[in-house]
Amino acid sequence: MLTTPPLAPKTLAALQSLGINTLDDLHRSGSTKTFLLLKAAGLTITDSTLWQLEALLHGCTPQTLDSAAKAALLATVKTHPPVAAFPVPSEMERFMRIALNEAEQSAAAGEVPVGAVVVKNGGIIAAAHNTCITDCDISRHAEIRALAQAGAALQNYRLDGCDVYITLEPCPMCASALIQARVARVVFGAAEPKTGAAGSVINLFENSLLNKHTAITGGILADECRAVLQRFFETRRG
C-alpha cells in the first residue's frame, strides 16, 4: 500500500479517491498520468510531487533523480493526452444504457445503431441516435446530433464541463466535433476497428497538433454495445 510518509497526507487521500492505492496501481497509471490526474482532481501540487511519484516507481528517493530525468518528466507532462477522473463504473454504465436505448431506435429505423447522450452536472441534457439515411445527411451521426441538441440547451456551442457517452468509438468526423466542442470527457462502449478515432485507427484526442481538451475512456458495456451492432448487420445480411 502507498503510505504517508513518503507521500503527503493530502496527496495520499487524493490518490485513494482515484483508486490508486498500491505501488502496482501506480505502475499501471505511471507517474506523469498520475500527476496529471491529481491536478485534474483539484489538488494543488508542485513538480516535487511528480519527482516523488517517479521515485516511488524506481524504489529510490527524489534526490537521486538528476536534472535530465526531471526535464524528461516535465516534457512528458506537457505532451501527455488529456486526463480526467471519470465517474464510478456504475454511473458510467447508467448513462451508457440510455445511449444504448438511443442506438436501438436507430436500428428500428434501419439506421446503423449508434446512440449518444450528453451529461452535465449529473443530468442528461441531450440524447440522440444516427439518422443519416432518414435525413440523407452523412453528418447526422449520433454524436453530432447530441452535440447540436446540447448546444441549443446551453445556448453555447462550447460544451465546457460536459461528458458525452457513445455506444461506439467515434469516427474522425465526430471526434473532431467533440474536440471542437471542448467536451470534458468522452466515454464510449465498443471499439471501432475500421474507423475509430479514439485509438483504434488513430487517436485525434491525443494529437499534439490539435487543441487538447477532452479525456477519453472506452469499454463501458462494450459487449452490449457491440451486440446491438452485430444483431443489426446480421439482420441486414439475412
Q: What are phi and psi of 126, to 5 degrees?
A: -160, 145
Three-class secondary structure of residue 129 per DSSP: strand
Three-class secondary structure of residue 213 per DSSP: coil
Within 13 Å and on the Cβ side, how many CA atoms surround 199?
Answer: 14
| Last residue in a domain, options 79, 99, 117 | 79
Task: Give the CATH number, domain containing residue 95.
Answer: 3.40.140.10
Q: Is the pLDDT of residue 106 over 90?
A: yes
Cβ atoms of 133 and 111 within 8 Å: the answer is yes
| pLDDT tens by residue, 211-225 | 778 999 999 999 999
Residue 120 within any structural domain of the chain:
yes
| pLDDT tens by residue, 9-27 | 999 999 999 999 999 999 9
Annotated binding-site residues for Zn(2+) read: 141, 171, 174
Residues 135 and 216 in one domain: yes
Cite the active site residues.
143
Residue 143 within any structural domain of the chain:
yes
| Last residue in a domain, options 47, 79, 111 | 79
Q: Residue 213: what pLDDT? A: 82
Residues 74 and 16 in one domain: yes
Query: For the chain, how many structural domains are there in total?
Result: 2
Residue 129 within any structural domain of the chain:
yes
Task: Give the number of other Cβ atoms within 10 Å of residue 49's Cβ.
Answer: 21
Residue 84 within any structural domain of the chain:
no
Task: Give the CATH number, domain containing residue 26.
Answer: 1.10.150.20
| Last residue in a domain, options 24, 52, 79 | 79
Residue 71's domain spans which residues? Answer: 9-79
Residue 185 within any structural domain of the chain:
yes
Residues 100 and 216 in one domain: yes
Residues 205 and 116 in one domain: yes
Q: How far apart are CA 127 and CA 106, in angstroms?
A: 12
Residues 136 and 63 in one domain: no
Give percent of the chain with pLDDT exceeding 90: 91
Q: Is the pLDDT of residue 238 over 80?
A: no
Give the predicted TM-score (pTM) of the model.
0.88
Residues 132 and 194 in one domain: yes
